[in-house]
A and B are shown apart, each in its own frame.
Chain A
Amino acid sequence: MLKLLKYDLKRDGYLILGVAAALALLQLFVEIGGRYRGAEDEMRIVFSIFSYVMAALLVVIKVCQSFLGSVRSAGRRLLPLRTFHFIGAGLLYGVLLMAALGVLGMLQLAYYMHTGMLGVQNISASGMLALLLSGGWTTIFLLLSFFLIMTVSESLRFKGRYLAAVLIYFILGSTISWVENGFLGGQVAGMMMFGARIQNPYSIIVQSSGFVGSWPALVFELLLAAVFCGIIVKLIERRIEAA
């Protein structure tokens, strides 16, 4: 898995550095240019958050593209690896890039705290750990969902399979939401699961109470992730041929 990751990073190295540089320059532009033009603090923060969301979106697209490339590539499919390794490498790649983005975000947050633009309450080591776990799990679950949809789309052999994939995505998302809301009290993954939440743009509360979601909800998501993995592996091995 790590070797696959090594070659993914080698392939995308310049692109990643380019996006990181563009993001850093954009933040400088927003801060320096914004202050020069007299933009409100809120506007600068919102613009900054927006740029991070865009960067995160790019990461998701790049990781999905990389996963699909591995599945389609004869060179990679000929490697003496189990199919699960391709999924694992994709997830690891996504988590790594998101973590890098998170580090940049944390630096930005520290800057906002230092300049008094934003207040962070109840911050603690366990709270931060909970935040990291929440972010990691959200990334993994999201990517796994996308991997599943892409794999299903690749395994279909009729015109309009991409449209079918979009439909499947919405049906899947709705079904999961329905189960979460109907049977698990709406408490599932993401920020709520490990006890971190953003109250408003000026006050981020990082609770240190650890796991605050329900155990059935967590088990449900873990089971779902395992089922997703199983389906992806079966479809790749049985239905998707490398070019």
Chain B
Amino acid sequence: MEQLLEFQSVSKSYGKRTALRDVTLSIGPGRIVGLLGSNGSGKTTLMRIASGLTRPDSGTVRASGHEPGPVSKASVSFMPDKPVFESWMTVGDTLDFQRDFFADYDPGKASRMLDFMKLSRKDKASSLSKGMQERLQITLALSRRASLYLLDEPIGGVDPVSREHILNALMDFYEEDSTIVVSTHLVADMERIFDTVVMLKGGGVVLHEEVEQIRIDSGKSIDQLFKEVYAEC
């Protein structure tokens, strides 16, 4: 079975600080994967490398079967933790931008998502509240029929109602045969949607396991396990 995301001995440092240390990881299709870790554990760096925004110092990466670059970017949909749209754009402009550059953009899905997220095409994107901007970011990412979705902290900094709404959107609009990798440290809110979890600590992978298997083996929820693993962080 072809893996959608493969990391082979990937390391990345920023100056003296190690962000990723010898990470080896592979994720197949049709999964919702939780990428868990405390602040500074390397989640964002891993996602940025997978999306092609950051180059690793060493190791090899394949996303959607290709090295990160123009080809992989056409089939990988990345939602960074900061707004990806330009400050002058309206919500409509941001969607038109997606349509113009991505062949897998689905206008019908985008329209349904706009309704679901209660967004208006006429609203100026930068004037939206934090929660609504997160909704827009999710809409932009999921309006494509990508094979791999990378969502970096999609519910970070939003109120519980918006969190619920965003999670419901994730479940409703993701493609069955694609894979979603969601990074978060808000495990309790999100663990219900995960099939697999990957835990990062100090830039290295400390756990990569099926959620059901973890529950059977340890008798704990992912949130409880997370708190144990990161107790001293």
Q: Which A residues fall within an 8 A CB radius of B?
A: 3, 6-7, 10-11, 73-75, 77-82, 237-238, 241-243
A78 to B152, CA, bound (A): 14
Contact in complex: B86, A78 (CB < 8 Å): no
Contact in complex: A80, B86 (CB < 8 Å): no
Shortest CB-to-CB span from B85 to chain A, Å, is 6
Determine the residue in chain A with the shortest Cβ distance to B78.
Answer: A78
Interface of B, secondary structure class, is loop
Contact in complex: B100, A78 (CB < 8 Å): no
A-contacting 9-mer, from B47-55, B162-170, B200-208 = B47-55
Q: A3-B100, A242-B53 are in contact. Are A75 and B86 (CB under 8 A)?
A: yes
Shortest CB-to-CB span from A69 to chain B, Å, is 8
A3 to B48, CA, bound (A): 24
Contact in complex: A74, B80 (CB < 8 Å): yes
Query: Across chains A and B, which 6 residue pairs bring their CB atoms closest together, nearest first?
Result: A80-B74, A80-B73, A75-B84, A80-B70, A79-B101, A3-B100
- A-B contacts, CB under 8 A, total: 44
Interface string of B74-103 (1 = CB under 8 A from A): 100010101011101000010001001110
Residues of chain B with a CB closer than 8 A to A81's CB = 70, 101
**Contact residue among A10, A73, A77 (Cβ-Cβ distance under 8 Å from B93):** A10
B188 at the A/B interface (Cβ < 8 Å)?
A: no
Interface size on B, residues (CB 8 A): 22
Contact in complex: B70, A77 (CB < 8 Å): no
Contact in complex: A241, B93 (CB < 8 Å): no
Contact in complex: B93, A78 (CB < 8 Å): no
Determine the residue in chain A with the shortest Cβ distance to B93.
Answer: A10
Shortest CB-to-CB span from B188 to chain A, Å, is 29
Residues of chain B with a CB closer than 8 A to A242's CB = 53
Residues of chain A with a CB closer than 8 A to B54's CB = 241
B71 at the A/B interface (Cβ < 8 Å)?
A: yes
A241 to B19, CA, bound (A): 15
Residues of chain A with a CB closer than 8 A to B93's CB = 10
Residues of chain B with a CB closer than 8 A to A11's CB = 86, 88
A75 to B88, CA, bound (A): 13
Determine the residue in chain A with the shortest Cβ distance to B85.
Answer: A75
Residue pairs across A and B with Cβ atoms less than 8 A apart, 6 shown, are A6-B100, A7-B100, A74-B84, A75-B85, A78-B84, A242-B53
Residues of chain A with a CB closer than 8 A to B71's CB = 80
Shortest CB-to-CB span from B36 to chain A, Å, is 23
Determine the residue in chain A with the shortest Cβ distance to B48.
Answer: A241
**Contact residue among A7, A77, A80 (Cβ-Cβ distance under 8 Å from B53):** A77
A238 to B102, CA, bound (A): 24
Q: A3-B101, A7-B97, A74-B80 are in contact. Are A238 and B55 (CB under 8 A)?
A: yes
Contact in complex: B70, A78 (CB < 8 Å): no
Residues of chain A with a CB closer than 8 A to B85's CB = 75
Contact in complex: A74, B53 (CB < 8 Å): yes
Shortest CB-to-CB span from A237 to chain B, Å, is 7
Contact in complex: A74, B97 (CB < 8 Å): no
Scoring A7, A80, A241, A243 by chain B CB atoms within 10 A of each residue's CB, the highest score goes to A80
Contact in complex: A243, B82 (CB < 8 Å): yes
**Contact residue among B74, B82, B88, B101 (Cβ-Cβ distance under 8 Å from A74):** B82
Contact in complex: A82, B70 (CB < 8 Å): yes
Q: A11-B86, A73-B86 are in contact. Are A241 and B101 (CB under 8 A)?
A: no
List B residues 125-184 near A (Cβ within 8 Å): none
Residues of chain A with a CB closer than 8 A to B82's CB = 74, 243
Residues of chain B with a CB closer than 8 A to A80's CB = 70-71, 73-74, 101-102
